[in-house]
Structure 1
């Protein structure tokens, strides 16, 4: 597949709540575009985009997978993202490099918790979106209810582009409100050929009403359409498309399409909308970069004439080597190019370039701006690093990773496993910024920390399958946070003789509690009573930051506290780097212990669906776990419960819920915030 010009490229992602049909839609896109010749079904473990064994066995997407296909005049670089909250980093880093997205909603479940999460991620990066309401063939499908939820819960302005022909099991096609024609997708051809017919007579009045509403909405947004609308003139389809494109690029409107991906209905109009309404790399505003030495800002826009600049947004371990995914913002990348990793200050050489098709590769000699590609040979590069021409160092905005909240102790089974474990874990850490590894000083166990039970389960499974390392695991544990509840000043003086030389340091620290979610803040400057040279100031700052990673009361990270260095006097011949580090570390420990330390526990946002007859039992179990019910939406047969629950009560909850609802209840959850731990937790850690 030859490269396209930037105006023909569409870098898009598929985003949604888990089980809304992202991968099913992706498989149809590949089939209808001619990239594949057979539709791979998720339930059969044959989906092209879900290529990992863990994905095929579980029927879920775990890692964001990219591919490329052609539709009409456009080259679509597609990223299929996970819907499970444990793999939210895959959505985050995809959003950072995408130009547009297709947001999928279930016509039955509507806007769900993870739907909101990925929508907010897209909002944060100002990613234009079109929407696809899937599962229109399901019992209980209600597209108008989904539109209302989008307005209320997402504060979005959906623009309905189609009406369904038939409802639930009788859903056979859609009516295009702009062209005013019916589109059918014959099942005997797997929906490959779209049949265009006149609008069914019984739908003409409703189509006219909905088309008028569409034009009114556009007139409110677009001056060109407004003039024609007020004059009563016919509005050409081309003018309507241009107005929708302008509104979509501004993220002020979101075109909505209807379909049933599993039954192969409604995908081709979405592909047309991707090309017509979503941006090319040329439509994206230049990215603000910084020069590493001066801090001066520079704009990086799509163009072949400027020096090369790209962001590494994903790293995979490929048979022991790093396969690095790049979004190219400027210039052209060629095999054997030498690049500067401006984030780490080192040179890298590109040995091979690939266009990825899930886990398969198409080898290239070069690739231009606006593209998404993968490269081998970048040994030091990690997620979020900027690669650029050595003559023009620039650093692009990086990628923020959420803090992991669940830990698991592992021990290698045999001697060979013990030797291979550190290297295997290091390669997994390349790939995933939300995966952390540390050694427990008391037990000597290796502690893995991740976003949830499933996340860590996948890590352990990959250790065995991908790296041949077998481990024994303990029970998952909650990762708490440590903080203080009162302000405290503490002076610490350190003096020790080592090898005939005095190692000394002195600090006066002030610790002040901060509001929840503030994190740790270290204030070194101005230091009114210090003459510390720059290297000792840097050592002082580094020692305090390292000490915050393990609080003195329980060993959990210290957060929501401001640490101000009031004094750090320099005593010639006594004050040393070792001494200032020791004084800062011990001073912080003693100050926290005097500041009425307490623990914060992670709280998750839970959405639970249960048959009405089991709702009382489910609500009772949530209250026993210390949960706070936020909302209960009662339906004829199913109740939707939204609650905030301490994470500690959610381990193994799926089994408990299935037992309480005879296998008919389901739930989804995502991290919400840290809050004061319960008295029981505090007593367990000796803080009660």
Structure 2
């Protein structure tokens, strides 16, 4: 790939709160770039990016969809992400693979709860962003208030590049502050025609004031601009754009544009801003890999001629076959190439390569550094795996997955369903790392665990629509955690004949409760490990982790616990690896049952929007449910309530909220932490 092609490439995503206009904007980008010739609307279930039946039925994005288009000579690889918290993994893995993003904010609601969540995710992956204040045509639109909330709630530095022409239903265009031009978007040809002219003289003072603010920001990234600014010298637009681009790529400023995607206004200037301010793959900080043999780090420049290094950031079951989305950080890849999954040192072979357009495939023969493509034929690859060549293995940092907190029992309806269920669930699990399948040890039921009610509802629907499997379901249940209330030491001696051989093991351990959010800490003294065989030493930690994950009383994973191995007496004649691991397993269970086991329930971070007139009723309802209100923000005639609340109290809450607010309230929630479950719950589990 020539250097010029890399410089003229942008890998971007669209992120925001649910219903802020992500998919509508994606549809306009594809239309104005010539990729599609007819715009479909989300509310009609006809958009190109929301292709799943569940998305079209619900009018929301469920899975991140990738596509590609060209804006003039710029190649744009675009990913449209979901806004609902239940599908946050789609945002997480998309941002892991992207170089830049467009963050959308509603001109009426401003920074909404999920806006903050995706903004934090983008901060975590150091993704540069430009912002679009959308829905400028709506009643109550106020871009200045949105600018303030971006600065206050996101602790960000927005830089306004446009002023609106008209407000609310009279919004018809924008004023380009840098060029002192007004841009009108024609209603006759769906906004394709732009009328560009010098800004009206009545805006001169406003434009001059805002341009001065832009120069002040640019001066922070270019000392020569600072000197000219202090000396009253004019600064060209080219120099300002270069300085703003530098600040944007560094993640210190965020250019802001205005528009109305649904009314086809503001999209073309936004695409120009993608070109001007967001980075090419070459502009980004080089990826960092480590060698699997010695764990040494290596910087991976974005070079088509370098060693191949690609991240599998998404895996899907497409028409029954595995399709793997790859971000190529270095090197080149061709269909038919033999590769190595360096995480597990497993060989793989690429059958075919595709450039994706939502669910449609465009077959290609090769791809190289900076590109985002899909590959078929990679049988063992999972989300977060690294692909490279045998002669130069490297491992990239993977992804962090949020904890699923809601479970659902399912059972197949018929014999045919029983045979197909296991295979279908396996495919859904390697598609979605936040979806887990377990078996209840007491009832033998199959338990599906996910991020929320909607997440599991979509899974069940997909079982029928995508895999032809019909199941009966129980009610959603909370996923608890187990912990201990007191410290205990315990010795366990295991002696048992297995397959004609006597297996013996002796383990002395100590279990110590830890503060909340500590997880499981394992202490294996080096001197103890040295006294054992390598086979036993390597197996101890996985056995502890597996036993803790299974729990000691109710089958839920143990947490907030320190496991210390104090002694493992070793007799070369009698002691066996199987005996020691069995003794270790039993020691944790027996000690745990004597150390005051208890349950922790998931506590959710709740952000609720309600008209001010209903705030009192909503607050009363939250307090009755055991919620703790952390604060209230008032915007115009709406209140935003921040609270924490047990997940057990939130099933079916949307119906209750709509009743209390006459249909105008909404909420989002995400997992916060685990805390002590109430007495009623403990009694239900016999504790």
* TM beyond 0.5: yes
Deviation digits for residues 232-261 of structure 1 (CA, Å, limit 9, x no counterpart) = 111101001100110011101110111111
Paired residue for 1:213? 213
- Between stretches 278-287 and 479-488, larger displacement belongs to 479-488
Paired residue for 2:442? 442
Deviation digits for residues 483-539 of structure 1 (CA, Å, limit 9, x no counterpart) = 123322222221223354321111121222223222112122324486211111222
Deviation digits for residues 618-639 of structure 1 (CA, Å, limit 9, x no counterpart) = 1121111110111223455433
Contact 1:411 1:446 in 2 (8 A): yes
Paired residue for 1:537? 537
Paired residue for 2:290? 290
Partners of 2:240 and 2:34 lie apart in 1 by: 29
Partners of 2:154 and 2:484 lie apart in 1 by: 36
Partners of 1:677 and 1:50 lie apart in 2 by: 39
Against the structure 1 CA distance between its residues 529 and 308, is the aligned structure 2 distance closer, same or farther, given a 3 Å change threshold? closer
Partners of 2:200 and 2:674 lie apart in 1 by: 55
Partners of 1:519 and 1:49 lie apart in 2 by: 39
Paired residue for 1:173? 173
Paired residue for 1:522? 522
Q: Which segments of structure 1 move beyond 4 Å, counting only runs of 4 or more?
A: none
Give the drift of 1:4.
7.6
Q: For 1:156-235, list aligned pairs within 5 A.
A: 156-235=156-235
- Between stretches 608-617 and 358-367, larger displacement belongs to 608-617
Give the drift of 1:660.
2.0
TM-score computed with the length of structure 1 as normaliser: 0.97
- Between stretches 469-478 and 225-234, larger displacement belongs to 225-234
- Between stretches 188-197 and 349-358, larger displacement belongs to 188-197
Partners of 2:229 and 2:189 lie apart in 1 by: 40
Paired residue for 2:144? 144
Paired residue for 1:6? 6
SS of 1:5's partner is helix
Q: For 1:265-284, list aligned pairs within 5 A.
A: 265-284=265-284
Contact 1:249 1:279 in 2 (8 A): yes
- Between stretches 516-525 and 344-353, larger displacement belongs to 516-525
Paired residue for 1:589? 589
SS of 1:262's partner is coil
SS of 2:211's partner is helix
SS of 2:509's partner is strand
Paired residue for 1:96? 96
Give the drift of 1:672.
1.8
Contact 1:539 1:580 in 2 (8 A): no
SS of 2:262's partner is helix
Contact 2:89 2:401 in 1 (8 A): yes
Partners of 2:391 and 2:159 lie apart in 1 by: 47
- Between stretches 38-47 and 193-202, larger displacement belongs to 193-202
Deviation digits for residues 266-306 of structure 1 (CA, Å, limit 9, x no counterpart) = 11111111111111111112211111111121111111211
Partners of 1:646 and 1:174 lie apart in 2 by: 46
Against the structure 1 CA distance between its residues 223 and 4, is the aligned structure 2 distance closer, same or farther, given a 3 Å change threshold? closer
Are 1:391 and 2:428 counterparts?
A: no
Against the structure 1 CA distance between its residues 287 and 682, is the aligned structure 2 distance closer, same or farther, given a 3 Å change threshold? same
Partners of 1:201 and 1:516 lie apart in 2 by: 62
Partners of 1:188 and 1:115 lie apart in 2 by: 33
Partners of 2:382 and 2:665 lie apart in 1 by: 40
Are 1:23 and 2:28 counterparts?
A: no
SS of 1:29's partner is helix
Give the drift of 1:9.
0.8
Partners of 2:446 and 2:529 lie apart in 1 by: 43
Are 1:365 and 2:365 counterparts?
A: yes
Are 1:640 and 2:654 counterparts?
A: no
Deviation digits for residues 89-116 of structure 1 (CA, Å, limit 9, x no counterpart) = 1111111110011111111111112111
SS of 1:547's partner is helix
Contact 2:13 2:79 in 1 (8 A): yes
- Between stretches 325-334 and 300-309, larger displacement belongs to 300-309
Partners of 2:635 and 2:278 lie apart in 1 by: 37
Q: For 1:448-597, list aligned pairs within 5 A.
A: 448-528=448-528, 531-597=531-597
Partners of 1:28 and 1:326 lie apart in 2 by: 25
- Between stretches 351-360 and 538-547, larger displacement belongs to 538-547
Give the drift of 1:474.
0.2
Partners of 1:103 and 1:601 lie apart in 2 by: 33
Count of aligned pairs: 687
SS of 1:210's partner is helix
Against the structure 1 CA distance between its residues 4 and 445, is the aligned structure 2 distance closer, same or farther, given a 3 Å change threshold? farther
SS of 1:227's partner is helix
Partners of 1:633 and 1:242 lie apart in 2 by: 37
Paired residue for 1:673? 673
Partners of 2:682 and 2:505 lie apart in 1 by: 34
Partners of 2:365 and 2:17 lie apart in 1 by: 38
Contact 2:316 2:323 in 1 (8 A): yes
TM-score computed with the length of structure 2 as normaliser: 0.97
Partners of 2:553 and 2:359 lie apart in 1 by: 46
Contact 1:527 1:568 in 2 (8 A): no
Contact 2:529 2:537 in 1 (8 A): no
Paired residue for 2:618? 618
Partners of 1:530 and 1:502 lie apart in 2 by: 24
